Structure 1
Amino acid sequence: MFADEYDVIVVGGGHAGAEAAAAAANMGSRTLLVTMNLQNIGQMSCNPAMGGIAKGQIVREIDALGGYSGIVTDKSAIQFKMLNKSKGPAMWSPRAQNDRMRFAEEWRLALENTPKVDFYQEMVSGLLVENGKVAGVKTSLGIEIKSKAVILTNGTFLNGLIHIGDRQLGGGRAGEKASTGITEQLVELGFDSGRMKTGTPPRVDGRSLDYSVMIPQPGDEIPEKFSYLDTAALSVQRDCHMTHTSALVHDVLREGFDRSPMFNGRIKSIGPRYCPSIEDKINRFADKDSHQLFVEPEGWKTVEVYVNGFSTSLPEDVQFKALRSVKGFEKVKFFRPGYAIEYDYFPPTQLKHTLETKLVENLYFAGQINGTTGYEEAASQGLMAGINAHQKIQGLDPFILQRDEAYIGVLIDDLITKGTEEPYRMFTSRAEYRTLLRQDNADLRLTPKSFAIGLAKEERLRKMEDKERKSKAFVKFFKDTSVLPSDINPILEGLNSSLVKQSDKMFKVFSRPKVSMDHMLQLESVSGFVKDNNLGREVLEQAEIQVKYAGYIEKEKNNADKLQRLENVKIPDDFDYSKLKSLSFEAREKLASIRPVTIAQAARVSGVNPSDISVLLVFLGR
């Protein structure tokens, strides 16, 4: 069946595996995707949504690089919202609710229409390793499949254990068995492993809910979309709803705490800090009598509903009794209870910035195996692992994004240099250059880089160049064109903004906090320029940001350039930190373990102080 050697084998068909397979194949590598169930490719295991704070920026970056997540999201979306619009553009974050079944179907079809992707349904139980280099995989049926590189994207399946109350079930997801064998082999090869936990809420029957007593949560009036390509924006959307827990609900939940695996010691691993279970929330925030619950439909036509905010591993009878005490849920019927799941992961400090492991050549890890949580974080790692696996076996340069180039760069750098002892989730606050890393300019930042390595197609590059050219021309128009007091003062007066006494450049007037693009479009010369040059919404938004935030953007670029000088100071691969007695003991230990490639990466390692960096710079002659 598998007489020929593949270039890349991807193990796992979740968000990381799907993006990894697509990237490697689209760059020209003959790729095999092996997963335990081909019907669950791209499965939304938890919430039926993509994007959100910082996560939406990641999806835009994946799309700009030529990945599929943005396109699949647009094709299966049922609602779209741009979050944080009341804040500055660095905080704007797109989010879509999705039809769960259509999302998985679109992923499957996208991969089937990728010529160099082959599929095989079976459990991978081990790796073929020869002389410290991966050579393929072995399946549970004993089949050996040869390849030049392997990408592990096992999600929550490695020795997965599901908890519901005082019962435990082996499994990687509800209704699916766990994956065994890989952890044990990797530990034998010298890898460190750990355990993490995540959870999911009950799914309920929407026909049993009373939406009339809940608060509607509609999408944006003019919805946008994720992909920079010509996917369609939504013309019709489905509402979500919001309700709240109460003191009564909390009392019911507490009745089951003695049977909760969270509190009776059965779960020993650490769960996601920023997505706690409902029992964890009422225990940690005992002073609060109420928590928000978001009632999210799972698709256009299905009646299944996701109860966002009610993640739990309490016994199913306690879950049911507590939910029936929630406003609007008095007659709720369950599709299935919530549960917690423990699974194996491998501390990501054991990886290079390409996501290749340091111990086994041409072996890559992506997704929850690296200690992250979230579809978007997983998908971005899969994309980067797929790219770098292709680059490595073709003898090409690695593809690494810096912290000032992408949220993906921040994510991977955080994992590699700092590690994580709890499920890692991306936030805008993790990115020191978030003014540069906006959701609106991901294509301008990343599409040329991806096109240069052969992933992003020419159509995508041409669209980006057209947007860039028109945006620059529009900004130049504002800088070069003056406006008369008689034209602008009526607008300024309506905004209670100080009037101008003489002609002034539009750029200066437009820079005022209260003046928006909509106000500038009231000027005949501006609206005429837009019409004559056929400028779309994306160009108008880009130009407005470039005008109003020019100072902040320039300052952040200068800061990034200063740091880049340290990124250019390379540390030799065989550098012996033990010889530098001037380094602190912790710095020697951490640097020898993580082996940063540059001085800038060394500075970000936990436990390494500025004085340690000074010692390194002196020793390296800098």
Structure 2
Amino acid sequence: MFPQYDVIVVGAGHAGCEAAAAAANMGSKVMLVTMNMNTIAQMSCNPAMGGVAKGQIVREIDALGGYSGIISDKSMIQFRMLNKSKGPAMWSPRTQNDRMRFAEEWRLALEKTPNVDFWQEMVSGLVIKNNRVVGVKTSMGIEIMGKSVVLTNGTFLNGIIHIGEKRFGGGRTGEKAATGITEQLVELGFEAGRMKTGTPPRVDGRSLNWKVMEEQPGDEIPGKFSFTDTKPLANQRPCHITYTNADVHEILKTGFEKSPMFTGRIKGLGPRYCPSIEDKINRFAERERHQIFVEPEGWDTVEIYVNGFSTSLPEDVQYKAITKIPGFENVKMFRPGYAIEYDYFPPTQLESTLETKLIDNLYFAGQINGTTGYEEAASQGLMAGINAHNKVHEKDPFILGRSEAYIGVLIDDLINKGTDEPYRMFTSRAEFRILLRQDNADVRLTAIGHELGLASQDRLDKVNQKIDETNHLIKQLGKIKVKPEEINGKLSEINSATIKEKTPLINFLRRPELDIQEIVTFHSDAIKITKDLSPEILEQASILVKYETYIEKEKSLADQMGNLDNKKIPDDFNYRGIPALSAEAKEKLSNIKPTNLGQASRISGVNPADISVLMVYMAR
């Protein structure tokens, strides 16, 4: 019935879609198996992409040749660059998206991708021979054979939905859970755990009083995610902000005795940085109110996502409480919020390629690895799809370092440190975040994507042009000099220090109070050389000059870390045979089996003294 596939992808969420697209575009014959063809790339939670650190990940996916940035741009209804008041390492793009169009654009993109086949059914198990995965089994007993398998099961593995005292099986509201895979993997020796996530009620926007809420518009000049020629928005839909209050909190507390979180019916840990509303008022009892973001689900639908009101309390308590929020007095609810508990597999059981250590050619990506968020899942799917293709075609593994991409930080954290609560990416997790900015993702990664066969020659040419134009502009700003009498008046007006001699324009760019748009007006030659340059080139030049010292310092530190990463550790290295290693280090190193000293140094429980001991033994 089916041919043998190079890569079988199980699950068509954000991870599965990126995995299938990547492997297919690299030349693999791909089968994408999903329980429901109508929910491909469903935004199960909030209708948005990006945000702090997550926006950087979407841009990295795009630079490598993935689809998430393009799909986000095609379906966005609002764009905002977050953290603009901070340094460029913190700037993070975010789009509000049309949920239905996002899923539609993903499905159409996959259907237009050669080499992708589809099958709608639940996968209930794996076909394994000689410790290698060779296919999957479906609930109807069909076997689909493949050289590699990527599991991207999301919240569906033995998923249980909780609303108050009610609980029922499901991977998402209205969709059944997936069974069989966890049990088989545990029998094979995998360690499994439970995690929890949640979602807020959806409500009817026609029943809200928008006048009493604070409007949150998009950027005046909207940007976009993709470095391709996707179109920026001409019009945007606003979001709104409102707040909970003491009345809301008191009503919610009446349902605590029926809360699955507080009664212990939910065993898995939820995301620390995205707590439910009942968790917020329990943990932060001193706060009189909490912010609620009122987000439209699309251009034309009236459905509204109540961001900040995630809950699993009984539906009657949810409704009574939400009517006390300003603007929600006459609200009509489409469906209540709920919590969902599901299986995951601690990611220390994976190689850096996301291949499992126990079973050859089996890859895990997304929430199955303990992460939360569309962006984190999509990036893992991309990497798993690339590496599954490379493995079956006998090519070298593809691994991104911590100084190359947030994606590299994410995977390195997962496989070395593991996680017992949903892992979410933050800029603070990256020690080289000045290097890993959203604005230079194309400069960092497009050449790599091109080499993989995912980024086109046209894209590479555009990036090289961007680099050349930026460098030329910086060079010219160093040559153009202004006299004190030409500039001191302007400097005094903006409270910037005056000059006493001819000074290159580039020196003014290093001043924090001056931006490049002002500086190019200081001299007619600067106006001439910049009049045809894009704002992107001006921004790049400004960042590279203003933060030159910091960038060079981070590059130096990254090179030092790279030296440790280049010191390979043999696969059969006997850590337990080294008396000077701490007991914890012996255990962690023996279990994780790092491939190099850099990876070993980042494992929780392995201290610098242990690394020094390892270096001595390896030198022998």
Q: Secondary structure at the match of 1:71?
A: helix
Instruction: Note if contact 2:402-2:408 (Cα within 8 Å) is conserved in structure 1.
Output: yes
Partner of 1:612 in structure 2? 610
Which of residues 565, 568, 572 is equivalent to 2:570? 572
Q: Secondary structure at the match of 2:190?
A: coil
Partner of 1:273 in structure 2? 272
Partner of 2:303 in structure 1? 304
Bigger mean CA offset, 488-497 vs 576-585: 488-497
Instruction: Note if contact 1:491-1:519 (Cα within 8 Å) is conserved in structure 2.
Output: no
Distance 1:487 1:183 in 2: 73
Partner of 1:337 in structure 2? 336
Q: Deviations over 1:409-441 (max 9, x none)?
A: 000000000000000000000000000000000
Question: Does 2:599 align with 1:598?
Answer: no
1:16-55 superposed matches below 5 A = 16-55=15-54
Distance 1:480 1:6 in 2: 59
Distance 2:235 2:452 in 1: 38
Question: Does 2:235 align with 1:236?
Answer: yes
| Structure 2 residue runs without a partner (length 5+) | none
Q: Secondary structure at the match of 2:229?
A: coil
Partner of 1:526 in structure 2? 526
Question: Does 2:476 align with 1:477?
Answer: yes
Instruction: Note if contact 2:13-2:40 (Cα within 8 Å) is conserved in structure 1.
Output: yes
Partner of 1:502 in structure 2? 501
Partner of 1:455 in structure 2? 454
Distance 2:313 2:540 in 1: 48
* TM-score normalised per structure 1: 0.99
Distance 1:490 1:510 in 2: 17
Distance 2:198 2:485 in 1: 61
Q: Which amino acid counterpart does residue 259 of structure 1 have in structure 2?
A: K
Following superposition, the deviation at residue 478 of structure 1 comes to: 1.4
Following superposition, the deviation at residue 60 of structure 1 comes to: 0.3
Instruction: Note if contact 1:29-1:116 (Cα within 8 Å) is conserved in structure 2.
Output: yes
Instruction: Note if contact 2:344-2:368 (Cα within 8 Å) is conserved in structure 1.
Output: yes
Q: Deviations over 1:100-131 (max 9, x none)?
A: 00000000011011011111100000001110
Partner of 1:376 in structure 2? 375
Q: Which amino acid counterpart does residue 160 of structure 1 have in structure 2?
A: G
1:407-426 superposed matches below 5 A = 407-426=406-425
Partner of 1:553 in structure 2? 551
Q: Secondary structure at the match of 1:464?
A: helix
Distance 2:424 2:292 in 1: 20
Distance 1:252 1:527 in 2: 62
Bigger mean CA offset, 306-315 vs 453-462: 453-462
Q: Deviations over 1:450-476 (max 9, x none)?
A: 111212111211111111111111111
1:315-354 superposed matches below 5 A = 315-354=314-353
Partner of 2:257 in structure 1? 258
Instruction: Note if contact 2:508-2:514 (Cα within 8 Å) is conserved in structure 1.
Output: yes
Distance 1:179 1:39 in 2: 17
Partner of 1:150 in structure 2? 149
Q: Which amino acid counterpart does residue 525 of structure 1 have in structure 2?
A: D
Instruction: Note if contact 2:480-2:526 (Cα within 8 Å) is conserved in structure 1.
Output: no
Q: Deviations over 1:54-88 (max 9, x none)?
A: 00000000000000000000000000000000000
Following superposition, the deviation at residue 487 of structure 1 comes to: 3.0
Partner of 1:10 in structure 2? 9
Q: Which amino acid counterpart does residue 64 of structure 2 have in structure 1?
A: L
Distance 1:316 1:480 in 2: 68
Following superposition, the deviation at residue 484 of structure 1 comes to: 2.2
Instruction: Note if contact 2:480-2:525 (Cα within 8 Å) is conserved in structure 1.
Output: no
Distance 1:602 1:167 in 2: 45
Following superposition, the deviation at residue 562 of structure 1 comes to: 0.9
Distance 2:600 2:239 in 1: 45
Q: Deviations over 1:324-350 (max 9, x none)?
A: 011000000001000000000000000
Distance 2:172 2:157 in 1: 11
- The alignment yields a C-alpha RMSD, in angstroms, of 0.8
Distance 1:54 1:227 in 2: 16
Moved over 3 A (4+): none
Q: Deviations over 1:123-149 (max 9, x none)?
A: 000001110011010100101011000
| Structure 1 residue runs without a partner (length 5+) | none
Distance 1:521 1:51 in 2: 32
1:39-438 superposed matches below 5 A = 39-438=38-437
Question: Does 2:538 align with 1:543?
Answer: no
Q: Secondary structure at the match of 2:390?
A: helix
Q: Which amino acid counterpart does residue 105 of structure 2 have in structure 1?
A: E
Q: Secondary structure at the match of 2:147?
A: strand
Distance 1:388 1:494 in 2: 57
Instruction: Note if contact 1:162-1:168 (Cα within 8 Å) is conserved in structure 2.
Output: yes
Distance 1:206 1:436 in 2: 42
Bigger mean CA offset, 504-513 vs 96-105: 504-513
Following superposition, the deviation at residue 485 of structure 1 comes to: 2.1
Distance 2:484 2:27 in 1: 59
Instruction: Note if contact 2:508-2:519 (Cα within 8 Å) is conserved in structure 1.
Output: no
Q: Deviations over 1:168-212 (max 9, x none)?
A: 010000000000000000001100000000000000000000000
Distance 1:488 1:79 in 2: 40
Following superposition, the deviation at residue 153 of structure 1 comes to: 0.2
Following superposition, the deviation at residue 480 of structure 1 comes to: 2.3
Q: Deviations over 1:285-341 (max 9, x none)?
A: 000110000000000010000000000000000000000011000000001000000
Following superposition, the deviation at residue 491 of structure 1 comes to: 2.7
Distance 1:318 1:161 in 2: 21
Partner of 1:515 in structure 2? 514
Following superposition, the deviation at residue 43 of structure 1 comes to: 0.6
Q: Secondary structure at the match of 1:243?
A: strand
Q: Secondary structure at the match of 2:81?
A: strand
Following superposition, the deviation at residue 477 of structure 1 comes to: 1.1
Q: Which amino acid counterpart does residue 151 of structure 1 have in structure 2?
A: V
Distance 2:463 2:452 in 1: 16
Q: Secondary structure at the match of 1:307?
A: strand
Q: Secondary structure at the match of 2:423?
A: coil
Distance 1:587 1:219 in 2: 49
Q: Secondary structure at the match of 2:508?
A: helix
Bigger mean CA offset, 451-460 vs 391-400: 451-460
Q: Which amino acid counterpart does residue 530 of structure 1 have in structure 2?
A: T
Q: Which amino acid counterpart does residue 280 of structure 1 have in structure 2?
A: D
